[in-house]
Structure 1
Amino acid sequence: MGLGGCIILIAAGAILTFATDWEMEGVNLDLVGVILIIVGLIGTTTFSSIARRKRVVIPPSTQVVQDEHHHRRDGYSDGYGA
């Protein structure tokens, strides 16, 4: 379950707890809403701690040093006069 699912659980629990006045026999909707809120909060904290551990720190890029070859221009170092 991702962060979006946790937020949906919290929202659904809050709606059941605070915004409804339905009565169901054998089911306490206020308690179901509170349970959904708690599960959503636990999921959010778990998701954030796992996401924090998976964060990868990329080291700064290293500078590439090109080895420059110094060529003599005497006519023989380029292979044509050898």
Structure 2
Amino acid sequence: MSAERRSPLDRARVADTALRLLNEVGLDGLTLRAIAKELDVKAPALYWHFRDKQALLDEMATQMFRRMAADAELDPADTWQERLL
């Protein structure tokens, strides 16, 4: 019998899973219960990492921004307004 070892649950893994699930089921289908099922944990385990669904949605938005910004080449002479655009 082989014991499968899963990755430890952390904020990044929860947010990544939630983003993937968001693409599959949309915002209306994105529930903490569905995310927990995808991660093979019980929904209360997610509250160890996020105080509520809104906190998770905020982290998801932050992750999306970081991914978009990671590929952007920034000119040091740009103003913050130009960088935002």
Larger Rg, first or second structure (1 or 2): 1
Q: Relative CO higher for 1 or 2, CA cutoff 8 Å, sep ≥ 6?
A: 1
TM-score relative to the length of structure 2: 0.34
TM-score relative to the length of structure 1: 0.35
More helix by share: 2
